[in-house]
Amino acid sequence: MTPDPTSDEAARLAMYREMVRARYFEQRAYDLFMEGIVQGTTHLGLGQEAIAAGFAAAMRPEDMTFCTYRGHNHTLLRGAPMSALLGELAGRSIGICAGKGGSMHLTDVTKNAMGSYAIVGAHLPIAVGAAWAGSLRGTDQVSVCFFGDGTTNIGAFHEAVNLAAVWKVPVVFVCENNLYMEYTPISEMTPVEHPAADRASAYGLESIIVDGNDVDAVYAVASRTIERARRGEGPSLVEAKTYRHKGHSRADPGEYRPEEEVTAWLARDPIPSYRARLEAVDVDPSTLDAIEADAMIEVDGATEETRNAPPPAAETLMTEVWADGGSEWRN
Amino acid sequence: MTPDPTSDEAARLAMYREMVRARYFEQRAYDLFMEGIVQGTTHLGLGQEAIAAGFAAAMRPEDMTFCTYRGHNHTLLRGAPMSALLGELAGRSIGICAGKGGSMHLTDVTKNAMGSYAIVGAHLPIAVGAAWAGSLRGTDQVSVCFFGDGTTNIGAFHEAVNLAAVWKVPVVFVCENNLYMEYTPISEMTPVEHPAADRASAYGLESIIVDGNDVDAVYAVASRTIERARRGEGPSLVEAKTYRHKGHSRADPGEYRPEEEVTAWLARDPIPSYRARLEAVDVDPSTLDAIEADAMIEVDGATEETRNAPPPAAETLMTEVWADGGSEWRN
Amino acid sequence: MAELTYRAAVARGIAQEMDRDPSVVLIGEDVAAAGGVFKTTEGLLERFGPDRVRDTPISEEAIVGGIMGAAMNGLRPIGELMFSDFLATCWDIVANQIAKTRYMTGGQVELPLVIRTANGGGARFGGQHSQSVENWAMAIPGLKVVAPSTPRDVIGLMAAAVRDPDPVVFFEHKKLFASKQDVLEGEIVDRLGEAAIRRPGSDVTIVALAAMVPVAVEAATVLEATGVSAEVIDLRTLVPLDTRTLLDSVSRTGRLVTVEENPRLCGWGAEIASIIAEEGFWNLDAPIVRVTTPHIPLPAAAELEDLAIPSSERVVEAVLRIQ
Amino acid sequence: MAELTYRAAVARGIAQEMDRDPSVVLIGEDVAAAGGVFKTTEGLLERFGPDRVRDTPISEEAIVGGIMGAAMNGLRPIGELMFSDFLATCWDIVANQIAKTRYMTGGQVELPLVIRTANGGGARFGGQHSQSVENWAMAIPGLKVVAPSTPRDVIGLMAAAVRDPDPVVFFEHKKLFASKQDVLEGEIVDRLGEAAIRRPGSDVTIVALAAMVPVAVEAATVLEATGVSAEVIDLRTLVPLDTRTLLDSVSRTGRLVTVEENPRLCGWGAEIASIIAEEGFWNLDAPIVRVTTPHIPLPAAAELEDLAIPSSERVVEAVLRIQ
Ligand SMILES: Cc1ncc(C[n+]2csc(CCOP(=O)(O)OP(=O)(O)O)c2C)c(N)n1
Ligand SMILES: Cc1ncc(C[n+]2csc(CCOP(=O)(O)OP(=O)(O)O)c2C)c(N)n1
Ligand SMILES: [Mg+2]
Ligand SMILES: [Mg+2]
């Protein structure tokens, strides 16, 4: 398994780099949305990067990620090329889905980023099936499935976690509890305090809560649950407490959230706090500056590529409905 | 509220009568299915009568019952006329649904038997909505919603119980755990021992298990949970342990069940055991014999009516799609 | 007379009915405090209170199952599904329970409920948030289906839907939310099942719905310049269907073109084409042409989505093909 | 040569594919130990073991979501939905996920899976267990749709469906399970998208599917006595659709009657009627007539259900109406 970052400086720096890359990438996505370059919608994970970074660090290349429309960070951190992701958000030909999917469907199967799903709950059973297939084929793969707090109230969540538990499927369910559905607090829509953790026992699973803004803590839980799954001991359900810095999507200012709450969570931003922790163990600030500078260069490059990329060719409208590459439904 | 049967002999005799009526009715339905009079399918609650009788006794007339295809006993015990139920099973014009519904959709809204639902889980949210409407309208009504053990694994179960808990809706969910789905034991498809009770905490609800073959015990739990709902304290989830004496449906001999299991449960038949309990408190056996004889007379009468009833008139095919009584979709 | 957006007309239509009938309630995700993700329910919570305007968990089966139960017990509930694509997440309750219960119970159960949902493409949201699924609902016996194309009709048809004793699926088109129209003050109530001739014509009948109506009208204007007089019919409701207006129009024009946003196969255009091909056959002077979105999921990229959804150019081309 | 029931053909077809390809698996409710509620999977558990033949909880979204995920990761899964009515309980996964994922990912994701389900009426099961919903699937871009009418075709089309790299919804008709046919031993593999002319004729084209095929053939036999030569086409698959065979037939007969078990509105019959009304228009000598179940839920009572589902008498009457 991967080296333990909490004891391995290189690995910790890598997690820091990944968080910064996700942060800069999504900040740019927001700017480009405001500019009208990014089309349709975006759901940013700004503030939730530690969850993506901690899990990505604990996963093997062959492990599979399933995420939601709020999964830009997960897809990027599994290794998808930044320009192809930004190009997809902007609906350009260079997009990772050729411009057909848009921001809610970022996918890079070559990196086992098995898709971003836009309908709440749907990807949980899909992640279970993929993990089950892996164990049947003896591939040692684990599925990691990310979703939000609001998703714990939809039927597919219940069916998927139950089936995974009954079949002892190697999947780790990760609830990113950012306290809100779209504009409604999850606390108003759930009769238990911890929407995921308090449901674990309903499936015979351990109740696991982690500070989703502490990448070291996330990494620890990630490796524990992933290795448990790999050992064939079945699924886990992890609830990571976190907060989104921006609104739900697009230009939403998130004004439905109390100011003190926002300030308190901004003070717990996973990135500066991790930088402080690293500096406290004598990591040279210039190293961290360099990581940040490199990330910005990468984002600028992806931005340029995206701005210069043409829209998808008209012919592509009718391609890739079927495996033969086309869309013919008649002879 | 209704007199406490456990202390009131008349009420206890009434519960005995209701169990016997349900038993004889469903035994006859089985015979008539074998004879080809009852059409399509039947799902009998033979062996599960104590649950229907205990709850029906604790409900007020205005309280609403929602049940499944295995709900002949619930519909009958809310007061639906036996001949109209048997007529529906046989697809006759006298059927409670005019022959249009069949055995899986027995309904008598005049008795607040709000329907039998044939797709697993669907009626749980419906029961929640009806109960919510009652509280909004200040009617003091409670919904009681019956379903099976296998139903606890479908999404609608999760969504309905969660919404009921969040909105504090006056509904009592009753899981009739008869140990089997159709032919597969629930224990093989659920990661917890008690498919309903072990899920209660996921909705902030108390875990409640009752002996579903002991009508006094069922009555006690029923009145406690129904009155709690009526007081505005929200839903309950009750798991009643029971067993079906016959197969899942139609002519299924139920051979997938170990013989010892079947014999053990037949020995716990709720009806003879309740008769014994009543005799033990000096109820005159002749009173009980009379109840049984009357029930058989009622069943014979309903059978005659059904045999003599004509099929639905052809014109009725096109009626009652819309509230105007017709089915026109164009001008 | 006030200028009203289609978006604001939704709230006005609902408010009109909630005002008049205390049994009308509204539930859905983010419909109360947030005023709806498309701001179509803004102000309703403040005006009618939290008992009658309620947020729900993300539980579509509980939303539509909940309004079904509520309709069984004395309310006239309106349930919102944020996007019409999500009808798929609760299709069992809609298609198997709500649509069939009256018939299956021999008429015992009446379900005066409305399912409102944002339908259609053009917003670059991609394949799971852009579908036109009115044909899904039309295919299910027991559902009435409404899809207004103007702010005024949103109010009048909302009133008709809420007052209708049967279940109605009410499709609000995303592309039209910002469209404006001068609308009279005061109560507006329409009847279901009445199409509107948006533009009279004599050479060809163009049938459209919701966001395809302005497209058809634009095509008709272009066609006029080329000397073709096109009659544009706005269906307004798919069930009940105003076949009389359709048959009458084709009997005068002899030509039919349908313009649908839904994917090609088994759409409402096919139903109408088939009705005319049977009952209006002897009046037809030319083949019936359907203009539809191709039989593909909707792409996200602007250039592709615009190619997929029928344009006035494609309608003009279709009409000229059969002149 | 052995006499085989349609029911047994399902198990034989699945076994043929599981034998040849270890990546083929089967999951569903009661499919393993119980051999399926319609006994269509009998013997498969014994033959292929519990890893490849698995019972599931009552969780349709988990079943179809599970096979979607499995198809993404190297298996060719078959998922059973006990009754096709239950497609509604997992319609989001089928219509929004499985059907659209390849397109939405720009072709990255291939989904070689089959959803098998028992379709159609005639068993007196009532409105929620008797529907013909093949038109639901046909309306969704990205799904292939198969509905065999004979035991032999069950095997050949099952093989084609399992080997197909795209998602296929495979409708097995309840009314046909007991039907018998002599079928050759050995492997049978068909191609999707090929209709079969069950009976050649020159005066009218009758198009049918699944359980409506014997009804159409019976009608054709009756018609022959009255001097009308009817050609009966068994579509076999709705997507891909063999429009060539349809257009060719109508070009010879000049008349079209479709026979559908699904409710009237927006069925596959409407799609075919529309295609002919556009592309075969100049060959038509008479109106196109659709014989369908009325637009109502299916009733349970035998006498009513038999009135609802198209009969050979109704087909004969429809054909004579346009002679
Ligand atoms: C089935 C379904 N219902 C509603 C929506 C609309 N919607 C998109 S995101 C969202 C909130 C999801 O909240 P949560 O699960 O907490 O995830 P978060 O957005 O906070 O990451 C909703 C309601 C949807 N996409 N799918
Ligand atoms: C959504 C759905 N899936 C499958 C079925 C088929 N089916 C009917 S009854 C049944 C078993 C239900 O088991 P349980 O909930 O324990 O109720 P019981 O029959 O034991 O009373 C199944 C799988 C159905 N009707 N609906
Ligand atoms: Mg959230
Ligand atoms: Mg059971």
The overall average pLDDT reported for chain A is 97
Could you tell me the distance, in angstroms and rounded to a whole number, from the CA of residue C93 to the centre of ligand 1? Answer: 20
Give me the DSSP letters along C85-96: GGGGGGHIIIII
- Confidence band of B3 (pLDDT split at 50, 70, 90): low
Q: Is the pLDDT of residue D186 over 70?
A: yes
Which of B153, B162, B204 minimises the CB distance to A159? B153
Please list every residue in chain B whose beta carbon sits closer than 8 Å to the beta carbon of residue D56. 189
Q: Is D69 touching A (CB cutoff 8 A)?
A: yes
- What sign results for the dihedral spanned by CA atoms D151, D156, D159, D163? negative
Give me the DSSP letters along B296-331: HHHHHHHHHHHHHPPPPPGGGGGSSSSTTSS---B-
* Gap between the Cα atoms of C103 and C126, Å rounded: 37
Strands A171-177 and C144-146: unpaired
Cβ < 5 A residues, ion ligand 3: A 148-149, 178, 180
Q: Is the pLDDT of residue A1 over 90?
A: no
The H-assigned helical ranges of B99-251 are: 123-137, 155-167, 215-230
Residue nearest to atom 17 of ligand 1 (CA): A148
Q: Is B115 touching D (CB cutoff 8 A)?
A: no
Average pLDDT for residues A6-29, to the nearest whole number? Answer: 95
Cβ(C209)–Cβ(C147) below 8 Å: yes
For the question of residue D129 being annotated catalytic, the response is: yes
The overall average pLDDT reported for chain C is 98
Question: What is the value of ipTM here, to two decimals?
Answer: 0.98
Could you tell me the distance, in angstroms and rounded to a whole number, from the CA of residue A211 to the centre of ligand 1? Answer: 22
Interface chains of chain C (3 or more CB pairs under 8 Å):
A, B, D
Average pLDDT for residues C231-256, to the nearest whole number? Answer: 98
Rounded to a whole number, what is the distance in Å from the CA of C215 to chain B's nearest CA?
A: 25
Residue of C58, C89, C93, C174 best suited for mutating to test ligand 1, as the one with most atoms within 8 Å of CB:
C58
Average pLDDT for residues B114-139, to the nearest whole number? Answer: 98
* Gap between the Cα atoms of B177 and A110, Å rounded: 46
**pLDDT tens digits for B168-195?**
999 999 999 999 999 999 999 999 999 9
**pLDDT tens digits for D225-234?**
999 999 999 9
Q: What local confidence, expressed as pLDDT, does residue D126 receive? A: 97
Partners of residue A65 on adjacent β-strands: A113, A144
Closest CA to D169 of D263, D217, D98: D98
* Gap between the Cα atoms of A174 and A176, Å rounded: 6
Please list every residue in chain D whose beta carbon sits closer than 8 Å to the beta carbon of residue C304. none
Average pLDDT for residues C25-34, to the nearest whole number? Answer: 98
Average pLDDT for residues C6-16, to the nearest whole number? Answer: 98
**pLDDT tens digits for C81-111?**
999 999 999 999 999 999 999 999 999 999 9
Residue A234: which residues within 8 A CB-CB, separation 6 or more? A164, A165, A168, A169, A170, A228
Q: Is C22 touching B (CB cutoff 8 A)?
A: no
Q: Is C80 touching A (CB cutoff 8 A)?
A: no
**Length in residues, chain B:** 331
Closest CA to D99 of D64, D134, D148, D135: D64
* Gap between the Cα atoms of D64 and C91, Å rounded: 15
- Confidence band of A317 (pLDDT split at 50, 70, 90): very high
Average pLDDT for residues C313-318, to the nearest whole number? Answer: 98
Q: Is the pLDDT of residue A191 over 60?
A: yes
Burial of B58-80, coded b for 16+ CB within 10 Å and e otherwise, reads bbeeebbbbbbbbbbbbbbbbeb
Q: Is the pLDDT of residue B62 over 90?
A: yes
**pLDDT tens digits for D52-82?**
999 999 999 999 999 999 999 999 999 999 9
- Confidence band of B205 (pLDDT split at 50, 70, 90): very high
- Confidence band of B7 (pLDDT split at 50, 70, 90): confident
Average pLDDT for residues B43-56, to the nearest whole number? Answer: 98
Chain A 59-98, CB below 8 Å of chain D: which residues? 64, 95-98
Backbone φ and ψ of C232, nearest 5°: -110, 120
B181 lines ligand 2 (CB under 6 A): yes
Q: Is B162 touching A (CB cutoff 8 A)?
A: yes
Do the chains contact at A92 and C29, CB–CB below 8 Å?
no
**Residue bearing tokens 């629930």:** B186
Closest CA to B16 of B65, B50, B56: B50
End-to-end CA distance of chain A: 52
Residue C95: which residues within 8 A CB-CB, separation 6 or more? C140, C143, D88
Please list every residue in chain D whose beta carbon sits closer than 8 Å to the beta carbon of residue B120. 58
Percent of chain A's residues with pLDDT above 90:
97
- Confidence band of A3 (pLDDT split at 50, 70, 90): low
Q: Is the pLDDT of residue A6 over 90?
A: no
Chain B 115-154, CB below 8 Å of chain A: which residues? 153-154
- Confidence band of B1 (pLDDT split at 50, 70, 90): very low
Q: Is D146 touching A (CB cutoff 8 A)?
A: no
CA distances to A275, A296, C239 from A278, rounded to whole Å, are 5, 20, 65
Indicate which residue of D12, D129, D175, D236 is catalytic. Answer: D129
Tokens of A207: 């109740």
Residue nearest to atom 25 of ligand 2 (CA): B119
Q: What local confidence, expressed as pLDDT, does residue C200 receive? A: 98
Ligand 1 pocket by Cβ (under 6 Å): A 70, 118-120, 147-151, 154, 178, 180-182, 248; C 29, 58, 60, 82, 86, 89
Q: Is D190 helix (H, G, I), strand (E, B) or coil?
A: coil
Residue nearest to atom 17 of ligand 2 (CA): B148
CA distances to A204, B186, C127 from A150, rounded to whole Å, are 21, 28, 22
Please list every residue in chain C whose beta carbon sits closer than 8 Å to the beta carbon of residue A325. none
Q: What local confidence, expressed as pLDDT, does residue D1 receive? A: 79
Q: What local confidence, expressed as pLDDT, does residue D47 receive? A: 98
pTM: 0.98
Please list every residue in chain C whose beta carbon sits closer than 8 Å to the beta carbon of residue B126. 65-66, 68-69, 72, 93, 97
- Disruptive mutation site among C73, C162, C235 for chain B (greatest number of B CBs within 10 Å): C73
Number of A to D CB contacts under 8 A, please give it: 169
**pLDDT tens digits for C156-205?**
999 999 999 999 999 999 999 999 999 999 999 999 999 999 999 999 99
Q: What local confidence, expressed as pLDDT, does residue B4 receive? A: 63
Q: Is the pLDDT of residue B5 over 80?
A: no
Average pLDDT for residues B63-73, to the nearest whole number? Answer: 98
* Ligand lying nearest the CA atom of residue B122: 2
Strand spans (E) along C235-314: 237-239, 256-263, 289-293
* Gap between the Cα atoms of C91 and D140, Å rounded: 14
Strand spans (E) along B130-255: 143-148, 171-177, 208-211, 236-241
